[in-house]
Each structure stands twice: as C-alpha cells, then as structure tokens.
Amino acid sequence: MKDPFKSKKGNVNSAMISWVDLTPTILDMAGVDARETKFHGRSFNSIIDEQNPKGWNEINASHTFHEITMYYPMRVVGRGDYKLI
C-alpha cells in the first residue's frame, strides 16, 4: 500500500482517470482487498508517483441528467490528445 502523503511533491501525472477510479483507489489506500469486487474503475494508487504511466491514456464517460429543462445525454471517449463527445 502506498501512502499518498509520502509521494513526491510537485509531480505531474499524465494518467487519464475518472470518477469511477476513486472508489477502488480509496479502498486500495485503506488497505482493503477489493480485487474480486466488480468496479467499473481501477485503482490509480500504484501510479501516483509516475509521470507517464503505461495503460492510462484512455477514458470513457457518460452524462445523462443535467437539468430537468435541459436534457442532453452525452457519451465521451478520450484517448491521448483526442476526445469524442
């Protein structure tokens, strides 16, 4: 388990993470073994100190409900420098 408070200060990480990655990361930081649990995301705890981690260059996202008068669902695919909304 990596302690995020002992990570290198000022490091800029190019990993593309999403909200779905937060729960697995927090559980990982707390020492909870949740590998068998079906999460949509994955823990980024092991790559916090890296600058260009491999395999973290793509995200998928969705936005369904914005406001009752402005309903416009969106789907997003992001890969490297490109995004499709």
- Average pLDDT per consecutive 10 residues, the chain (85 residues; last block may be shorter): 69 88 91 82 89 92 75 85 88
> What is the DSSP secondary-structure string of 10-55?
T--------GGGHHHHHHHHTT---TTS--SS---GGGTT-SS-TT
Q: Is the pTM of this model over 0.85?
A: no
Q: What is the structure's pLDDT at 8?
A: 72
The C-alpha atoms of residue 59 and residue 85 are separated, in whole angstroms, by 12
